[in-house]
Amino acid sequence: MTIRKNQATLTAEEKRRFVDALIALKRSGRYDEFVTTHNAFILGDTDNGERTGHRSPSFLPWHRRFLLEFERALQSVDSTVALPYWDWTADRTVRSSLWAPDFLGGTGRSRDGRVMDGPFAASTGNWPINVRIDGRTYLRRALGSAVRQLPTRAEVDSVLAMSTYDMAPWNSASDGFRNHLEGWRGVNLHNRVHVWVGGQMGTGVSPNDPVFWLHHAFVDRLWADWQRLHPNSPYVPAAGTPNVVDLNETMKPWDDTTPAALLDHTPHYTFDAA
Amino acid sequence: MPDITRRHALGAAAALAATVGAPLTAAAADDHDSHQDHGGHDGHQGLQPFDEVYRGRRIQGHATEGGGHHHGAGYAVFVDGAELHVMRNADGSWISVVSHYSPVPTPRAAARAAVDELQGARLVPFN
């Protein structure tokens, strides 16, 4: 059974295996397929048109499935690996062990944003940025530069308190839990973390940075936490919504699963602690 | 549509800029869009074209006829002639693929944010 752990609690051995599996997926070309898929949805999801992966109710189940696919790919390399999550309300500085050279490496140098240490630094030769929107082929970050502060626990709790999953118009203008967690409205949780990391994480090809998966694993965990707080609040919309994935509609690109099928994460993985 | 009058005044410049790559030397078209571009939900007709050099990069923007590669955005932005994918949010703010999670008020602000982020790198065309 897959147990997703807080990244801060991983042993040196767990970090090493996770990093090695990432690099193996990168070398095989499978990693970049995930980057490509993500960017296609980033470009295609629009507030007034079809929207599936982002700015819509299915933001949460879409990323849950996307992470499941990615985790299964990692496990095909090393069956002991699970996706860790990054609780950015707790590990909120550049000095966090997350950014140490034995895990993800640190921020980019000031001149060009290039990450200079850790297993994903361009100098290792193991992490070419192939799916990109500009000419730069090296991983970049600018931790805490475009926005100074990561969200606080109090800000997270204020969003977890919202009892309605999502609301019309089911996009970046919506009130409710989903859009406040996604961050287009209100205190801004998920979007702000992308901006705080900077570099590729601020772009449509954000999965180029491995922290993408740890960030989204925590966003996914917050969805599970919200469900526990609001057991009687359903996924909405239920049916008949143009351009939006209703509860029992299938989601692209898989076309074989629905939000309803992804509401319960426990058949796939559990979390380390409540 | 508070910018109707202004649009008429700029009609010639706008028509000129509607051709991809056409030089637009009229500086008048550039200076006031930070408030003009808040068109609400009335489509892209109210958006001004722009064409300027920002931090050594030529940035341009203009309304499109729709279709093509713009995913319905209705407005195209270019950095040194390469198209920057941009998107308008429901509240009228803008993002680009280079700065996707950080909305700004206008397409020109999105182009400038992209130049800041690119640090001189060239854009790769999107399909």
pLDDT of B10 > 80? The answer is no
Query: Are A149 and A143 contacting, i.e. CB atoms less than 8 angstroms apart?
Result: no
- Of A16-25, A179-188, B8-17, B92-101, least confident by mean pLDDT is B8-17
Cis ω before A253 (30° cut-off from 0): yes
Q: Is A78 helix (H, G, I), strand (E, B) or coil?
A: coil
Distance CA A78, CA A114 (A): 29
- Mean pLDDT confidence for A245-273: 97
Q: CB-based burial of residue A120 (10 Å sphere; 0-12 exposed, 13-18 middle, 19+ buried)?
A: buried
pLDDT of residue B47: 85
pLDDT of A89 > 70? The answer is yes
With residues binned 3-state (H G I as helix, E B as strand, rest as coil), the percentages for chain A, rounded to 5, are 40, 5, 55
Closest partner CB to B72 (pick from A46, A136, A190): A46
- Mean pLDDT confidence for A82-88: 98
- Mean pLDDT confidence for B15-26: 36
Best B100, B104, B127 residue to mutate vs chain A (most A CBs within 10 Å): B100
pLDDT of A135 > 60? The answer is yes
Strands B57-63 and B50-54, how do they pair?
A: antiparallel
Which residue, among A121, A103, A99, has the nearest Cα to A112 in the 3D structure? A121
- Mean pLDDT confidence for B9-20: 36
- Of A110-114, A141-145, B63-67, B97-101, least confident by mean pLDDT is B63-67
- Is residue A50 very low, low, confident or very high in pLDDT (cuts 50, 70, 90)? very high
- Chain centroid to Cα A210, Å, comes to 10
Q: Is B117 helix (H, G, I), strand (E, B) or coil?
A: helix
Percent of chain B residues past pLDDT 70, beyond the cut: 57
- Is residue A273 very low, low, confident or very high in pLDDT (cuts 50, 70, 90)? confident
Residues 99-138 of A with CB under 8 A from B: 112-113, 132-136
Percent of chain A residues past pLDDT 90, beyond the cut: 99
B42-48 contacts at long range (C-beta below 8 A, 24 or more positions apart)? B42/B1, B43/B74, B44/B73, B44/B74, B44/B75, B44/B88, B45/B1, B45/B7, B46/B1, B46/B3, B46/B7, B47/B75, B47/B106, B47/B107, B48/B3, B48/B6, B48/B7, B48/B10, B48/B14
pLDDT of residue B12: 34
Q: Give the residue carrying structure tokens 């070398």.
A: A27
- Mean pLDDT confidence for A248-263: 98
Closest partner CB to A134 (pick from B87, B100, B118): B118
pLDDT of residue B125: 83
- Is residue B41 very low, low, confident or very high in pLDDT (cuts 50, 70, 90)? very low
Alpha carbon of B34: minimum distance to chain A alpha carbons (Å): 20
pLDDT of residue A274: 59
Average pLDDT, chain B: 72
Q: Considering the entire predicted model, what is its pTM?
A: 0.89
Residue B96 has phi, psi (to 5 degrees) of -130, 170
pLDDT of residue B13: 37
For residues B37 and B106, the model is more confident at B106
pLDDT in tens, A94-113: 999 999 999 999 999 999 99
pLDDT of A236 > 60? The answer is yes
Q: Which residues are paired to B36 by β-bridges?
A: none
| ipTM for this prediction | 0.95
pLDDT in tens, B45-84: 568 999 999 999 999 999 997 544 445 468 999 999 999 9
Alpha carbon of B97: minimum distance to chain A alpha carbons (Å): 5
- The answer to whether the CB atoms of B71 and A191 lie below 8 A apart is no
